[in-house]
Amino acid sequence: MKSFMLFVWISEFFALETNMKKIIFVLFLIFPSLLKGAITGKIMGRVKDEETQKALSYVNITLEKTGLGAITNPDGYYFIINIQPGEYTMRVQMMGYKTVLKKGIYVDAGKTVFINFELEETVLEMKEVIIVKGRRPLIEPGATHSSRIFLAKEIVKIPRAYSVLRLLETQPEVVKDFTLEEYHMRGGRGGEILYLVDGIPVNDRFVGGSAAIDIPVFEVKQVEILKGGFETEYGEAQSGIVNLITASPDTCFRVMTFYKTDKIIKQFDSDHVGFSLSKPFPFSGKKILLLFTGFGDFTDTYTPFGYSHNRGEFLGIKYGDRQRNAFGLSAKALVKLLNNGRLVVSGRKNVNVYEKYRHKFIEIPEHSHRYREESSLYSISWNHSIGYSSFYELKLSSFHTDLHYDPGLSPPEIHLLEEEHLWAEDNGIPWIVDDRGIPTDIDNDWFYEMGYDSSYHSHNERNNSIMFDFTKQFENKHLVKMGFENHMWHLEKQEIEVLWFYDSTRTNEEGPYPGYGWSRDIYSVNPLQGGVYIQDKYEREGLILNYGVRYDYFYIGKEVDVKKRFQGYISPRIGFFYPFTDKIAFTFSFGLYYQMPEYQYIFMTTKWRGPYRLIGNPELKPECTRAYEFKVENELPMQAVFSFGMYKKDIRSLINAELVDRYPFESYKITNSSYGDTRGFEFEFRKPVGKHFTGRAVYILSWAKGQNTKDLENFEDMDLGEVMREFPLSWDERHRIKLLLSYETASNTTSHSTGATIAWMYGSGLPYSLIEEVKKGNLAKNSERLPSHSTFDIEIYKKMKLAGATLELSLIIENLLNNENIIKPDKTPYFVTLKDPTTKGKPRTILLEMGIGF
């Protein structure tokens, strides 16, 4: 944690306008708490006499190795709150009764586990203990939303799931845009998913897309993917939430390292390495625990790039740059203070350096962009239980992300060309200019022999957040949460397009390359965003009702000249869980979800594209989704569950580029004028427990329609004309199927085990447009469909213990059948001729992974 963080928060607060200070101060008084992403769970239940069935009061219940516990009330009820996710053992004891020890109790973040006990009387003086083996409930009674939870030991068995974002790709509800590298959940646009790391948001709010920090799975304790019905504690999300909880330090010394490669046969020169070190701080009596992790991910990908990177060799091992290079380090310290206090200090730094394959630059790849992304997250969290019925948590965090790329050539290099060549257009096409000034393609082969990516981009964002939450259990039925969150942003952007253009009268411009560029978007702003909520979770066996209301606000800051600087919006939400029988349950939810647009659209000045211009809009309102969902679950005799669900989402106030003026230039302004509609049916069969076999099968039938596929579609594809009616969005895949089957010869408690996992994903094909036919008016947008696609993956692993060490060897084969999957269209009419490899998915890949732990 940087030492000047607190000073920055205080100084930025006092720099706000007086009215804004008053608003924040009042919100702190009204809502003295915050909960941003649940990271703890709860156990509750009732204790009775086995023979008489009468409630037993004053029974002592403890959660071993946690310091948490409870005593039953006169009606026999108990509850334990503020439990970190994980597997636990409960001890239940009372004089005159046999002690019960229940093992294998799983607690998930934000969930309630119901556990009842029936104690047997004893007249023996010596202590008797009854050991009971617990298991996860097949139908979670504590969830009023729709979600899927993955423990660390489950994620490592899923092929392709090397990181949290790769895990997201394997979900049938998610469609990935391979061009923009965005994820669409249940038909929503990219950027509508909220990513949380230990309760802290890590989205890139400038340009949207996915999480700015991707975390490898070996650093993960639990991942919950919320698809719908999320409670009022979650704001700034319309489509879904990825709630990630990182691993905690251990009470004993542990070391783990792994290495994964595809070099067993010559493929894509991929290497993945990682380590984890956990130990108590010396002489602390295990009250200070430390955890250090690191990873490296290096690959040339399956796309050719055309030139060699700087590579070296040491002892036969090659090292150096590849097409994609990612690495990161993290540290976490857990300090146990007081009787029920827990202080966590953590820091994380990720760096990603890469080139994107550009098919038209295949002859001059060194003239395309090279990207560098850096992200860091520092946080301090203090959690303290007050008695047995309430706890509070204070969080301070600083999140920083930066994206930068330079032009393929930099001024003044671009002016060292022969005079007969004009390096025009931001796409780098080389042109010869005749005496009439008409540009003509040199050799008509559709590949660039000369030219460069002539744009520069750098954006930097810092989010300093302060959070304080308080949770209170009233009696045995009401769990009340109320919260406040405040994010103070500092945003800087420098974007220059068409750098070959030079104007000697503009050499005093701010930012890099003064005087260069047709379009320059440069600014520094300090907006503020946050929200408050109150929520009640009514719980009893047989019914759970979760209802609340949320108020979000956005303050644009002082740097922008606008009439209305402050916006606020209210969103009510409700969900309930009702069991028809002990085997059949019904869940329903309704919610209103708001999310501010990407900040680049709010603060954009003017963007030029030839004679056309795009104007930003500081008065943009939040996008809004109204969502409904219901689900029926049926527990089957074979320790399995079948579920059927349906959802519908009405999406309004989406970002659009609207034509506002034709003279002297065609001017487009960013507005909240677009809309969309998504709906779907989900069928799922899952068998989460079994002696040897576990598995899941999911089928999804869905529709996603709207007025625009992209935020700025009317501006970027203006030659296609404005669409006045709904059409299938580019991620509207009608049918999706996911099968996952795992087999293991022995349980995790044994020293040796062998297992395998197979995964099959199928999609019926995405829509696309035949551009030339759309221009002629012969076809509507996205009226064509790509072929269906499928992948079959397998992972085989062997675990063993040898001389105190745990060894693991895995063989992973992705796309075993080597299917040629078309994942995106080519917008030119020369699809076959160009043979762009990025239009196809990854071919068969064979990886070998070796891991060792002590």
How confident is the model at residue 24, as a pLDDT? 42
Sign for the pseudo-dihedral over CA of 793, 735, 167, 383: negative
How confident is the model at residue 424, as a pLDDT? 41
Structure tokens at 501: 């253009």
Mean pLDDT, range 83-98, rounded to an integer: 88
How confident is the model at residue 721, as a pLDDT? 63
Mean pLDDT, range 289-309, rounded to an integer: 85
Banded pLDDT at 189 (limits 50, 70, 90): very high
How confident is the model at residue 318, as a pLDDT? 63
Structure tokens at 36: 């941003």
| 697: CB partners within 8 A, 6+ apart | 684, 685, 686, 737, 738, 739, 740
Strand ordering across the sheet containing 68-71: 68-71, 60-63, 86-93, 99-107, 129-133
Highest mean pLDDT among 9-23, 117-131, 212-226, 435-449: 212-226
The answer, yes or no, to whether residue 702 has pLDDT greater than 80, is yes
Q: How many helices and strands, by DSSP H and E, does the chain display? A: 8, 49
Rounded CA separation 176/233 (Å): 27
CA 43 and chain centroid, separation:
27
Structure tokens at 100: 């019960």
How confident is the model at residue 413, as a pLDDT? 58
Q: CA 430, 434, 437 angle in degrees (round to 5)?
A: 85
More confident residue, 673 or 417: 673
Nearest to 767 by CA among 798, 730, 737, 741: 730
Mean pLDDT, range 380-396, rounded to an integer: 88
Three-state DSSP class for 14?
A: helix
Strand ordering across the sheet containing 200-201: 146-151, 220-228, 240-246, 193-197, 200-201
The answer, yes or no, to whether residue 439 has pLDDT greater than 70, is no
How confident is the model at residue 26, as a pLDDT? 41
CA 186 and chain centroid, separation:
14
How confident is the model at residue 124, as a pLDDT? 58
Under DSSP, the state recorded for 475 is: T
Residues in the chain: 854
Rounded CA separation 551/580 (Å): 34
More confident residue, 85 or 187: 187
How confident is the model at residue 245, as a pLDDT? 92
How confident is the model at residue 469, as a pLDDT? 84
User: What is the CATH class of 31-133?
Assistant: mainly beta
How confident is the model at residue 128, as a pLDDT? 61
Three-state DSSP class for 128?
A: coil
Distances (CA, A) of 127 to 52, 61, 120, 130: 22, 16, 13, 10
Banded pLDDT at 655 (limits 50, 70, 90): very high
User: Mean pLDDT across the chain, nearest whole number?
Assistant: 84
Which letter, b or e, does each residue of 185-220 get, where b requires 16 or more Cβ atoms within 10 Å of its Cβ? bbbbbbbbbbbbbbbbbbbbbbbbbbbbbbbbbbbb
How confident is the model at residue 779, as a pLDDT? 75
C-beta of residue 252 within 8 angstroms of C-beta of residue 280 = yes
Structure tokens at 232: 């009022």
Question: Out of 135-149, 455-469, 587-601, 680-694, which region has the weakest mean confidence (pLDDT)?
Answer: 135-149
Banded pLDDT at 243 (limits 50, 70, 90): very high
Nearest to 496 by CA among 657, 369, 320, 389: 369
Structural domain spans, the chain:
31-133
Under DSSP, the state recorded for 452 is: -
Nearest to 548 by CA among 537, 538, 529, 535: 535
Banded pLDDT at 68 (limits 50, 70, 90): confident
Rounded CA separation 41/142 (Å): 10
How confident is the model at residue 134, as a pLDDT? 65
How confident is the model at residue 433, as a pLDDT? 40
| 798: CB partners within 8 A, 6+ apart | 753, 754, 808, 809, 810
Mean pLDDT, range 6-10, rounded to an integer: 37
Give percent of the chain with pLDDT exceeding 70: 84
Banded pLDDT at 722 (limits 50, 70, 90): low
- Dump pLDDT digits (tens) for 17-63: 444 444 444 443 333 333 345 678 889 889 999 888 999 998 999 99
Under DSSP, the state recorded for 787 is: P
Mean pLDDT, range 770-776, rounded to an integer: 68
Rounded CA separation 117/73 (Å): 14
Q: Please compute, for residue 349, the number of CA atoms within 13 A of its CA located in the half-sphere on the CB side.
A: 4
Mean pLDDT, range 655-671, rounded to an integer: 88
Q: Look-up: residue for tokens 């293991």?
A: 744
Amino acid at 160: R
The answer, yes or no, to whether residue 808 has pLDDT greater than 80, is yes
Mean pLDDT, range 718-744, rounded to an integer: 86
Region of 367 (left: φ > 0; alpha: ψ -120 to 50; beta: rest) is: alpha
Considering the entire predicted model, what is its pTM?
Answer: 0.87
Banded pLDDT at 15 (limits 50, 70, 90): very low
C-beta of residue 4 within 8 angstroms of C-beta of residue 348 = no
The answer, yes or no, to whether residue 84 has pLDDT greater than 90, is no
Nearest to 477 by CA among 578, 546, 384: 546
Rounded CA separation 270/283 (Å): 42
How confident is the model at residue 703, as a pLDDT? 97
More confident residue, 215 or 9: 215
Q: Is the peptide bond before 664 cis (omega within 30 degrees of 0)?
A: yes
Banded pLDDT at 827 (limits 50, 70, 90): low
Report the run of H or E that residue 30 belongs to, with start and end: helix 18-30
More confident residue, 358 or 742: 742
**Helix 5-14 vs helix 18-30: crossing angle, to nearest 10:** 120
Mean pLDDT, range 103-117, rounded to an integer: 86
Distances (CA, A) of 361 to 313, 332, 451: 29, 43, 9
How confident is the model at residue 430, as a pLDDT? 44
The β-bridge partners of 555 are 528, 566
How confident is the model at residue 572, as a pLDDT? 96
The answer, yes or no, to whether residue 440 has pLDDT greater than 70, is no
Report the run of H or E that residue 456 belongs to, with start and end: strand 455-474
Structure tokens at 637: 């005799």
Distances (CA, A) of 797 to 381, 661, 814: 37, 63, 15
The answer, yes or no, to whether residue 794 has pLDDT greater than 80, is yes
Q: What does the radius of gyration of the chain's CA atoms come to, in whole angstroms?
A: 29
